[in-house]
Structure 1
Amino acid sequence: MLALRVPLYRRRVGRIAVDMAACCALSALLIVSALSQEAPEKAAPLRLQLNKVETTGESCRITMVIDNSKGAGLKSYKVDLFAFDTEGVAQKRVAVELGPLPPRKTTVKIFDFPGIACNKVGRVLLNDVLACDGGDAAREACLERTETETKAGLPFDR
């Protein structure tokens, strides 16, 4: 009965205001949704640290610390590494399986660059990520999120 007492033009103005408020709310929701899709979250970094090098016989033994303390677990994480001599010439290539990497954990792996003494190595290069299996991680995404650092006195880059 109340609606009959309110003049028709006021009922229409009220309805337009409600419709405009709903339209503005929907527009704001769409804008926020579009912005969140344009700026995807950056994946948690996976840090490789060249921690220690030591000559064992005719090989250079590498101790690598893999910090996955902020990321999801990986069943496999295989990297392609190159050892360069002190003149900058590539000497040895090795593919190393560093996985499995449990979620939110730091692990240590030890492997050798066969046939080259550590005093002949001038630099180590992370050339590529060959395999990255687990979760929604693609090989390219793993390479992008991998960061390198060194405590061994040799440069370690990607």
Structure 2
Amino acid sequence: MGRGMPVRGGIGGRLVAGAALAAVLIVSPAMAQENAPAAKADSPKAASPKAEAAPLKIELNRLEPAGEACRTYMLVDNSRGPALKSLKVDLFAFDTEGVAQKRLAVELGPVQEKKTVVRLFDFAGLACPKIGRLLLNDVLTCEGGDATRETCLERIEPATKTSAAFDR
């Protein structure tokens, strides 16, 4: 058996070899636990931080004249998130010089789970060419699942396809 005393034939030699083998088998599981790597902080067994929420993409898709108003098309992409029965946002329209012109509270919900929708609304008394920027000032209402105003605001990723900027 390697180093140590040679094992001689007969019953005594077999007993010594058997005892040594039993000792290895008993100690091995304990040594395996001692040498096992510690649980990582990101492993499922470890206390995990709050899972990152799926993005909620809101795109300023189009601006078009509608009489004395500017009709606004908003694309709400909830393709990776849970259903929202209400999503009401506070918007500010700024002119091309950066001066606030109009404020509007808009209901963009309901938005089904894993769905994209288009919502239309008008900025009354504001010509589309005068809009240089649209600001998502705040989320007024966000209802659905465990959503809160704050978590919805964090999830929102604004984008634009128009000449006007759209940000939060």
Query: In which range does the TM-score fall when normalised by the shorter chain?
Result: 0.7 to 0.9
- 1:19 Cα deviation (Å)? 1.5
Larger of the two Rg values belongs to structure? 2
Distance 1:16 1:152 in 2: 70
Write out per-residue CA displacement over residues 18-75 of structure 1, whole angstroms, 9 at most, x where no aligned residue: 112234448347773477725x543221111111112223221101111111111111
Name the amino acid aligned to 1:49.
E
Q: Does the Cα contact within 8 Å between 2:79 and 2:115 map onto a contact in 1?
A: yes
Q: How much does 1:122 deviate?
A: 1.4
Q: Equivalents in 1 of 2:65, 2:58: separation in Å? A: 20
Q: Which has the higher helix share?
A: 1
Task: Evaluate the alpha carbon distance shift between residue 31 and residue 141 of structure 1 in structure 2; reply closer, same or farther with a 3 A threshold.
Answer: closer
What does 1:8-47 align with in structure 2 at a 5 Å threshold? 11-25=22-36, 27-28=38-39, 32-33=43-44, 37-38=48-49, 40-47=50-57
Q: Does 22-31 or 129-138 show the bigger shift?
A: 22-31
- CA RMSD in angstroms, aligned pairs only: 2.6
Query: Is 1:85 paired with 2:81?
Result: no
- Describe the shift of the 1:24–1:138 C-alpha distance in structure 2 as closer, same or farther (beyond 3 A): farther
Q: Distance in 2 between matches of 1:53 and 1:64?
A: 9
Letter in 2 for 1:65: L
Task: Note the residue ranges of structure 1 that are not aligned, 5 or more in a row.
Answer: none
Q: Deviations over 1:92-137 (max 9, x none)?
A: 1111110000011110100111222212211111111111111122
Aligned-pair identity in percent equals 53
1:117 aligns with 2:157: no
Paired residues for 1:1-158 under 5 Å: 5=15, 6-7=18-19, 11-25=22-36, 27-28=38-39, 32-33=43-44, 37-38=48-49, 40-158=50-168
Alpha-carbon distance in 2 for matches of 1:154, 1:22? 61
Listed as ranges, the gaps of 5+ residues in structure 2 are 1-14
Question: What is the distance in 2 between the residues matched to 1:151 and 1:43?
Answer: 25
